[in-house]
Amino acid sequence: MPPRATQKQSEPDAVLVSQDVLSRLKGDILDGRFAPGARLRFAELQKTYEAGIGTLREALSHLLPEGLVELDANRGFRVAAISAEDLRDVSALHIEFEQRAIVESVRHGDDAWEAGLVLAFHRLAKIERLPREERRQRSSEWLAAHREFHRALVAACPSRWLLRLRAQMYDHMERYRLVSQRHRPLGPAKRAEHEAIRDAALARKPEQAGELLAAHLRETTETVLRHAPQFMPPP
């Protein structure tokens, strides 16, 4: 039996199931669909993601060194806990990585980087201009656009490792933002701040862009910390 139409041209989305499960699982942890500290049972995961146990273990093993899940022997996986202390720790490193990365990025960025940044800001601004209600419904689009904007800012930084670590910390900060968002009023729009950062980057002012970005992030962290008692575990 021919094993399907033999399409020789390699599909661009020759994606692995485990990678797909990984990204969905990660997204579900980041936006709090799985509560911090919650156990992740295979029976449940199998239904949700329509994948075998081995595939799920593979995805969870990937998230282990990133610090998003934890494992204790013979008792399975748990979503990593959160705490004000951890938030401060994550945030301090995140801000520093972002600042250093954007400084280098502005210094090294070429035309393609500029174009990517302009585009990313445009997409983010477009979503942010939508009426409040529609933005709510399409929150995952805003999330992706916001993530992509911040990625575009630092994309030209030549240190691959700094970018890697920055991305890791961004993930953790996003989780804190999203978990806290369910327990506090939506913060004010940050379009003006984003625009100012973009302008400083395009004007090739590395230090200014870095300062603006750091201030932007510090403010977010403080907002989250201010409402922390509402969603943090009481210890």
Partner DNA sequence: GCGGGCCATATTTTCGAAGATACTTGATTG
Partner DNA sequence: CAATCAAGTATCTTCGAAAATATGGCCCGC
- Burial degree of 141 (CB within 10 A; 0-12, 13-18, 19+): middle
61 binds DNA (CB under 7 A): no
Partner from a copy of itself, DNA, none contacting 162, C-beta within 5 to 8 A by type? a copy of itself
Nearest approach in angstroms of CB 74 to a copy of itself is: 7
130 binds a copy of itself (CB under 8 A): no
Q: Looking only at residues 54 through 73 of this chain, which bind a copy of itself when binding is defined by CB under 8 A?
A: 54, 57-59, 61-67, 73
Answer yes or no: are the C-beta atoms of 157 and 101 closer than 8 Å: yes
Nearest approach in angstroms of CB 231 to DNA is: 24
| Per-residue mark of binding to DNA, 68-97 (x: CB under 7 A) | ---x-xxxxx--------------------
Contacts 24+ apart (CB under 8 A), 150-153: 150/98, 151/120, 152/113, 152/116, 152/117, 152/119, 152/120, 152/121, 153/102, 153/105, 153/117, 153/197, 153/198, 153/201, 153/209, 153/213
Binds DNA by CB under 7 A, chosen from 16, 64, 112, 203: 16
- Chain residues binding DNA by CB under 7 A are 3-4, 6, 10, 14, 16-19, 39-43, 46, 50-55, 57-58, 71, 73-77
